[in-house]
């Protein structure tokens, strides 16, 4: 999973992504964001005012030096008071804005996270099959993180910097055109440097990411096979390989960071040089008494030069602020684009209107009821005449000339027809890729068929609401997935309102009770990381218990007992047969002893059913099944 994190395909950032983030921000927090904007504006404007007051102070001081303190004392007090007022206002705004922004940033991220998660839950299985887990995971880690950067830092910084720059430019023009021109030259230099250094650093950061991905991939592979490394005394070899990759990563990281590190000193010193240049140009202009060109029309005096050079500092500071944010903004745009792409993904469609209801029988009629009766019925409203009919849920599944392909160009199931009568055990046997799991994917509508029909108790499954269809099917999958929580909670996942007794009964049925009791905290043992502390066989027993507690009318077992030894499997099977008596079971297995006692066995090859019948019939036919059974043939 980790390996794919850095190998995501580059994403074309659609135009207006940044705008969409900002729009969403205002939509989620209209009042707060407006408040933030107002506060930002006020603080930005306020931050330029001291320079002006500074200029006035210098004028007063000059005057005071000549005419005495008393003539200017009032002026100084006035300036100090105005400054105080400006400060109080700006500080108030500053506190308001930073605190509001903390709330907005975290709240927005939280909202986005939940939106992504809710959106993700509604996506069809196809999405998860075509995207790596690492890729999806990085929406929640890397991409959200770029958004946090953007909202909490880049956006406010850039807004403030822009306002300040506009203000400062205006004030600069107010004092002197010529000196402003010098500043502009400096800014052009800064922009060029940013482009060059930033571009180089970006180039190396990409390479660093690639080297990182290589190291990560290598480490993952070796650590995964660490026991094999040990058994073959291959440690020295893998160290050599690792050193090579590690050295490359070091070189790329070093280059990337060097360029990133020198950007600030360069910009800072261009600022310094500009500062000096402006001072000297100002001085020269004053000395040579060049006629001043300014909005104020005032001559160039020390009272104009001093605030001007102070402002130069502010100006360059803000320009480097912006250039520092450029990288973050670019990254955030890519991140936001990916997040929006996930949220815009088409959710799983469901046009079903037939629902599953509890029912009871009354005078031979099926009557809907609310309590759990252990008897279900399909409620089928008919649009034409507005009537409702009830069909008792029996578990009769029919596939009628079904064609299917995960991609339209490549059909993996050809003309598959089968019928499973209630109470039957139907088994699928065939090599990996023959289409066994695909059939079950179609029955619970993880995927929709291309051609043909699937009927469930005589109803086309397209008409059944997906949630209800799936609720009627118990599935035990090839890969057992357990969730963080206690053993009890994991079993209860099958039926949320199951009592402890029901869960324990299900565990006993699945033959899991014994090992659970021996766990440190029994049924209260916490499972983490997909039950890493359990063996594969134990995980399978738990997932069987989870399905058993759901007590479904139809059960699909996809390699559900592949990691359980044959003795235990026989015990589990006895329990399951008991539970599923009179209900339909689909079994997929490699191990032929698992499927031997099925009512019907289907042998699949390349998406076609090539043999069907019970064990005795297939053995008598001496076909593929017979070959498999006698060990003359290898499945895979």
Q: Which of 175, 205, 275, 456 binds another protein (CB under 8 A)?
A: 275
- DSSP string for 323-335: HHHHHHHHHHHHH
- In the window 582-601, what residues touch another protein (CB under 8 A)? 590-593, 596
Residue 219 found at the interface with another protein (CB under 8 A): yes
Judged by CB under 8 A, the residue of 11, 18, 52, 61 near another protein is 61
Name which of residues 337 to 396 contact another protein (CB under 8 A).
none
| Residue 21 binds another protein (CB under 8 A) | no
Long-range contacts: 512-521, Cβ < 8 Å, 24+? Answer: 512/538, 512/541, 512/542, 512/544, 512/545, 515/541, 516/487, 516/542, 519/487, 521/486
Out of 30, 74, 268, 582, point to the residue binding another protein (CB under 8 A). Answer: 268
- Per CB under 8 A, the list member of 60, 171, 183, 554 interacting with another protein is 60
> DSSP letter string over 566-605?
HHHHHHHHHHHHHHTTTSEEEEE-SSHHHHTT-SEEEEEE
Find the binding residues for another protein in span 277-306 (CB under 8 A): 277, 279-280, 282-284, 286-288, 302, 305-306
d(CA 307, CA 312): 9
Nearer to another protein, 370 or 432 (CB): 432
Total number of residues shown for the chain: 636
Among 33, 36, 40, 72, binds another protein (CB under 8 A): 72
Rounded to a whole number of angstroms, the distance between the first and last alpha carbons of the chain is: 25
Binding to another protein by CB under 8 A, coded x per residue (else -) over 80-119, reads x--xx--x--xx--xx--xx-xxx-xxx-xx--xx--xx-
386-445 residues in contact with another protein (CB under 8 A) are 432, 444
Tell me which residues in 512-541 interact with another protein (CB under 8 A).
515, 529-530, 532, 535, 537-538
| CA distances for 511 relative to 98, 497, 550, angstroms | 58, 22, 16
Region for 66 from its dihedrals, namely left if φ exceeds 0, alpha if ψ lies in -120 to 50, beta otherwise: alpha
Percent helix, strand, coil in the chain (nearest 5)? Answer: 60, 15, 25
146 contributes a contact to another protein by CB under 8 A: no
**CB of 329 vs another protein, minimal distance in Å:** 20
Instruction: Select 221 or 500, whichever has its Cβ closest to another protein.
Output: 221
The β-bridge relationship of strands 413-420 and 388-392 is unpaired
483 contacts another protein (rule: CB under 8 A) = yes
Please say which residue, 342 or 420, places its beta carbon nearer to another protein: 342
Q: Give the Å distances, CA to CA, from 31 to 42, 264, 270, 312, 495.
A: 17, 36, 40, 35, 44
For position 50 contacting another protein by CB under 8 A, the verdict is: yes
Among 45, 253, 293, 519, binds another protein (CB under 8 A): 253
CB 634, min distance to another protein, A: 4
CB 127 within 8 A of CB 345: yes
For residue 407, list its beta bridge partners. Answer: 410
CA angle 246, 247, 248 (to 5 degrees): 90
Q: Which of 232, 381, 460, 526 binds another protein (CB under 8 A)?
A: 232
Give the separation between CA 114 and CA 186, rounded to whole angstroms: 46
Distance of closest approach, residue 362 Cβ to another protein, in angstroms: 28
Please give the backbone phi and psi of residue 570, each rounded to the nearest 5 degrees, phi first: -60, -40
Q: Does residue 224 interact with another protein by CB under 8 A?
A: yes
Using the rule CB under 8 A, which residue among 38, 85, 220, 582 binds another protein? 220
Site for another protein in 149-168 (CB under 8 A): 152
Contact by Cβ (8 Å): 200, 252: no
Question: CB of residue 154 vs another protein: minimum separation in angstroms?
Answer: 15
Which of the ranges 20-28, 164-172, 330-338, 627-635 carries the binding residues for another protein, by CB under 8 A?
627-635
Nearest in space to 440 (alpha carbons), one of 580, 325, 557: 557
* 567: contact with another protein by CB under 8 A: yes
Name which of 177 and 232 has its Cβ closer to another protein: 232
- In the bound state with another protein, the residue whose beta carbon lies nearer, of 258 and 392, is 258
- Pairing assessment for the beta strands 584-588 and 388-392 based on DSSP bridges: unpaired
The verdict on 130 binding another protein (CB under 8 A) reads no
Candidates 78-86, 166-174, 183-191, 375-383: pick the segment binding another protein (CB under 8 A): 78-86
Rounded CA separation 551/494 (Å): 8
- Site for another protein contains 31 (CB under 8 A): no
State in angstroms the smallest separation of the CB of 24 from another protein. 16
- Residue among 52, 76, 191, 330 that touches another protein (CB under 8 A): 76
Label each residue of 493-504 as H, E or C.
CCCCCCCHHHHH
Q: What's the min distance (Å) between Cβ of 5 and another protein? A: 9
Residue span 175-214 as binding mask against another protein, x where in contact by CB under 8 A, dash where not: -------------------------------------x--
Helix axes 155-175, 177-224, angle to 10 degrees: 160
Q: Which is nearer to another protein, 166 or 228 (CB)?
A: 228
Nearest approach, Cβ of residue 133 and another protein (Å) = 5
H-helix or E-strand containing 390?
A: strand 388-392
Q: How far is the CB of 625 from another protein (least distance, A)?
A: 10
Q: Is 34 in the site for another protein (CB under 8 A)?
A: no
């Amino acid at each position: 999973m980790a390996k794919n994190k850095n190998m995501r395909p580059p994403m074309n950032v659609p135009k207006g992504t940044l705008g969409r983030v900002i729009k969403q921000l205002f939509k989620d927090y209209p009042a707060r964001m407006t408040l933030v904007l107002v506060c930002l504006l006020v603080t930005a404007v306020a931050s330029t005012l001291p320079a002006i007051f500074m200029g006035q102070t210098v004028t007063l001081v000059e005057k005071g030096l000549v005419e005495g303190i008393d003539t200017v004392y009032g002026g100084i007090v006035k300036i100090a008071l105005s400054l105080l007022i400006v400060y109080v206002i700006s500080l108030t705004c500053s506190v308001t804005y930073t605190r509001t922004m903390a709330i907005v940033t975290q709240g927005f991220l939280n909202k986005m996270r939940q939106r992504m998660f809710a959106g993700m839950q509604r996506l069809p299985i196809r999405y998860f099959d075509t995207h790596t887990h690492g890729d999806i995971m990085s929406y929640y880690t890397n991409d959200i993180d770029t958004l946090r950067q953007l909202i909490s830092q880049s956006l406010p910084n850039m807004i403030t910097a822009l306002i300040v720059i506009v203000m400062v430019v205006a004030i600069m023009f107010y004092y002197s055109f010529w000196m402003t021109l010098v500043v502009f030259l400096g800014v052009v230099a800064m922009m060029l440097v940013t482009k060059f250094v930033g571009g180089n650093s970006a180039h190396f950061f990409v390479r660093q990411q690639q080297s990182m991905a290589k190291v990560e991939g290598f480490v993952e592979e070796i650590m995964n096979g660490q026991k094999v490394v040990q058994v073959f005394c291959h440690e020295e070899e893998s160290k050599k390989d690792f050193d090579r990759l590690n050295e490359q990563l070091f070189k790329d990281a070093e280059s990337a960071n060097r360029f990133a590190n020198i950007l600030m000193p360069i910009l800072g010193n261009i600022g310094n040089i500009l500062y000096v240049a402006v001072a000297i140009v100002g001085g020269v202009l004053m000395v040579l008494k060049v006629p001043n060109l300014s909005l104020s029309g005032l001559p160039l005096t020390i009272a104009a030069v001093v605030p001007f050079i102070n402002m130069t500092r502010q100006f360059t500071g803000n320009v480097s602020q912006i250039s520092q944010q450029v990288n973050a903004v670019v990254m955030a745009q890519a991140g936001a684009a990916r997040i929006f792409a996930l949220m815009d993904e088409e959710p799983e469609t469901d046009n079903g209107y037939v629902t599953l209801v509890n029912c009871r029988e009354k005078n031979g009629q099926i009557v809907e009821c609310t309590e759990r009766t252990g008897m279900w019925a399909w409620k089928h409203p008919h649009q034409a005449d507005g009537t409702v009919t009830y069909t008792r849920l029996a578990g009769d599944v029919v596939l009628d000339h079904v064609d299917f392909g995960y991609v339209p160009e490549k059909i993996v199931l050809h003309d598959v027809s089968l019928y499973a009568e209630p109470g039957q055990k139907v088994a699928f046997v065939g090599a990996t890729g023959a289409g066994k799991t695909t059939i079950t994917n179609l029955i619970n509508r993880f995927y929709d068929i291309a051609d043909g029909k699937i009927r469930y108790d005589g109803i086309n499954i397209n008409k059944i609401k997906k949630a209800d269809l799936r609720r009627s099917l118990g599935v035990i999958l090839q890969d057992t997935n357990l969730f963080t929580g206690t053993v009890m909670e994991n079993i209860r996942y099958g039926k949320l309102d199951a009592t402890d007794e029901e869960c324990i009964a299900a565990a006993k049925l699945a033959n899991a009770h014994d090992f659970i009791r021996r766990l440190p905290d029994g049924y209260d043992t916490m499972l983490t990381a997909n039950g890493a502390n359990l063996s594969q066989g134990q995980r399978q027993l738990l997932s069987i218990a989870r399905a058993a507690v759901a007590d479904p009318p139809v059960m699909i077992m996809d390699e559900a007992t592949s990691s359980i030894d044959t003795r235990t499997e026989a015990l589990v099977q006895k329990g399951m047969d008991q539970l599923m008596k009179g209900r339909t079971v689909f079994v997929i297995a490699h191990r032929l002893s698992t499927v031997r006692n099925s009512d019907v066995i289907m042998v699949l090859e390349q998406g076609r059913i090539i043999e069907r019948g019970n064990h005795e019939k297939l053995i008598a036919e001496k076909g593929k099944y017979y070959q498999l059974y006698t060990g003359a043939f290898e499945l895979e």
